[in-house]
A and B are shown apart, each in its own frame.
Chain A
Amino acid sequence: MNGPAFLSLISGIVFGAGLVVSGMADPKRVRDFLDITGAFDPTLAFVMGGAVTVMVIVWRVQNRMRSPLATEKFDLYPDSLKTRKTVALKCFWDSTWLYDSWWFS
């Protein structure tokens, strides 16, 4: 077993343990979270709160890293910040186009 696969296995084990500790291994509990008109159980919100708290910090660390510790490249979707820039540029481009079409009409 190589390095990344071993780390991946460790991560999976922690993940599985976390699911059980949080009660999320019980489909009934997940369904009760969705059952807002009945036996609503807010536990899933606390689980996501805990996980997101950790990951907010982790993304900040990741932002400063050139590559992951055990592999060569990050295997991620385009950075959301870049996506936002693309969306902003696209909006700007479209607005200039609209402006031009109005100007030349």
Chain B
Amino acid sequence: MEILAHAMPLQGFLGGLMLGVAAAIMLLSVGKIAGVSGLLAQTFALVSSKNTNFTAASFIIGIPLGAALVQFFFGPIKSLYPSSLTQLIIAGLLVGFGSRLGSGCTSGHGVCGLSRLSPRSLVATCVFMSVAMATVAMMKHLGLS
């Protein structure tokens, strides 16, 4: 199918399994939800947590390290970011504000919550996915992207 031409189902699933393993290590050994926005908030002590902020910070530091390791062994990755710094800062602020407002992002609600059959995560995931889809459609309609 034409629309699926650039999809990567295999790499996607394999990468997804890795994300699952990462979340498993976090949950079974440290006892925390591997939610990126939540752990970032804990790192800067914006929310309380049972462990030290250093534990949450280690996870956050690990993410770019893991990405760098893959790049080191398998070559440069494709990643298309906007070149404007202002645009990046505004986008980052919106992402941070939105994910804290929803008490979690794709990793916390989407992966850890859905697999736990958590009602609040199911609602959150459905809401943020559909609103994000509507936002993209609206931005396209207004000619902003």
Contacts and interface: CB of A to CB of B under 8 A. Distances in A.
Contacts of A71: 29-31, 50-51
Given A8-B58, A11-B62, A75-B50, A55 B112 contact: yes
A67 B31 contact: yes
Contact of B58 (A9, A43, A49): A9
Contacts of A21: 11, 14-15, 18, 70
B32 A9 contact: no
Nearest to B73: A17
Contact of B114 (A31, A35, A52, A83): A52
A12 B70 CA distance: 13
B118 A77 contact: yes
B51 A61 contact: no
Contacts of B3: 39-40
Interface of A: 1-2, 4-28, 31-32, 34-56, 58-59, 61-62, 65, 67-71, 73-77, 80, 83-84, 87
A12 to B, nearest CB: 2
B19 A47 contact: yes
Interface of B: 3-4, 6-34, 36, 49-52, 54-71, 77-81, 106-107, 110-112, 114-120, 129, 132-133, 135-137, 140
A59 B61 contact: no
B25 A10 contact: yes
A86 B8 CA distance: 42
Contact of B22 (A4, A11, A26): A11
Contacts, number: 283
A80 B122 CA distance: 11
B12 A23 contact: yes
B75 to A, nearest CB: 11
Q: List 8 A-B pairs, minimum CB-CB distance, nearest first.
A: A12-B62, A50-B16, A22-B15, A54-B20, A16-B66, A18-B18, A68-B31, A55-B115
Given A12-B60, A68-B31, A27 B22 contact: no
Nearest to A74: B31
B30 A4 contact: yes
Contacts of B68: 16
Contacts of B23: 11, 15, 51, 54-55, 58
Contacts of B18: 14-15, 17-18, 21-22, 50
Contacts of B70: 16-17, 20-21
